[in-house]
Amino acid sequence: MAANMKVKERVAKKQTLCGALMLIEALKAENVKVIFGYPGGAVLPIYDKLYESGVFHVLTRHEQGAIHAAEGYARISGKPGVVIATSGPGATNIVTGLTDAMMDSIPLVVFTGQVASSVIGSDAFQEADVLGITMPITKHSYQVRDVHELPKIIKEAFHIATTGRPGPVLIDIPKDMAVAEAEFDYEQDVQLPGYQPTTKPNHLQIRKLVEAVSQAKRPVILAGAGVLHANAHEQLKQYAEQQHIPVIHTLLGLGGFPADHPLFLGMAGMHGTYTANMALYECDLLINVGARFDDRVTGNLAHFAPKATVAHIDIDPAEIGKNVPTKIPIVGDAKEALIQLIEQNGKRPDVSDWLKQLNEWKREYPLMYKREPGVLKPQRLIEMIHEYTNGEAVVTTDVGQHQMWVAQYYKFKQPHRWVTSGGLGTMGFGLPAAIGAQLAQPEATVVSIVGDGGFQMTLQELSVIQELNLPIKIVIVNNQALGMVRQWQEIFYEKRYSHSLIPNQPDFVRLAEAYGMKAMRATTEEEAEYVLKEALATNAPVLLDFHVCPGENVYPMVAPGKGLHEMVGVKW
| Domains in the chain: ranges and CATH | 13-182 (3.40.50.970), 201-363 (3.40.50.1220), 376-553 (3.40.50.970)
* CA–CA distance, 109 with 66 (Å, rounded to integer): 12
φ, ψ of residue 206 to 5 degrees: the values are -60, -45
pLDDT at 13: 60
pLDDT for position 204: 98
Q: Is residue 36's pLDDT more than 90?
A: yes
Decide if pLDDT at 10 tops 70.
no
- Total H helices, total E strands in the chain: 24, 20
Over residues 481-493, the pLDDT tens digits come to 999 999 999 999 9
What percent of the chain has a predicted confidence (pLDDT) above 90? Answer: 97
Q: What is the pLDDT of residue 572?
A: 73
Q: What is the mean pLDDT of residues 41-69?
A: 97
What separation in angstroms does the CA of 555 have from each of 56, 263, 273, 559?
Answer: 44, 22, 9, 11
pTM of the model: 0.96
SS3 293: coil
Average pLDDT of the residues in 447-454: 98
Residue 571 confidence class, pLDDT cut points 50, 70, 90: confident
**pLDDT(450) > 80:** yes
- Within 10 angstroms of residue 422's Cβ, the number of other Cβ atoms is 22
Residues 202-257: tens digit of each pLDDT = 999 999 999 999 999 999 999 999 999 999 999 999 999 999 999 999 999 999 99
Q: How far apart are CA 267 and CA 226, in angstroms?
A: 15
99: left (phi over 0), alpha (psi -120 to 50) or beta: alpha
pLDDT of residue 138: 98
Q: pLDDT band at 412, cuts 50/70/90?
A: very high
Confidence of residue 174 (pLDDT cuts 50, 70, 90): very high
Query: 502-529, pLDDT tens digit by residue?
Result: 999 999 999 999 999 999 999 999 999 9
pLDDT tens, residue by residue, 83-137:
999 999 999 999 999 999 999 999 999 999 999 999 999 999 999 999 999 999 9
Cβ-contact 366, 275 below 8 angstroms: no
Which tens digits make up the pLDDT trace of 322-351?
999 999 999 999 999 999 999 999 999 999
Q: Is the pLDDT confidence value at 11 over 60?
A: no
Query: What is the model's pLDDT at position 8?
Result: 44
Looking only at the bridges linking them, the beta strands covering 418-419 and 140-143 are: unpaired
Is there a contact between 408 and 267 (Cβ–Cβ < 8 Å)?
yes
Q: List, for residues 359-378, the tens digit of each pLDDT value.
A: 999 999 999 999 999 999 99
Residue 7's pLDDT is what?
Answer: 42
Is-contact 424 270, C-beta < 8 A?
A: no
> pLDDT at position 14, please?
77
Beta bridge partners of residue 520, listed in sequence order: 544
φ, ψ of residue 32 to 5 degrees: the values are: -75, 125
Nearest to 466 by CA among 516, 405, 414: 516
As beta bridge partners, residue 309 has: 285
**DSSP, res 422:** -
Among 272, 268, 187, residue whose Cα is nearest residue 569: 272
CA distance 196 to 164: 8
Residue 558 has pLDDT above 80, yes or no: yes
Give catalytic residues, as residue numbers: 63, 125-126, 175, 484
Instruction: Please give the angle made by the CA atoms of 474, 454 and 532, to the nearest 5 degrees.
Output: 20
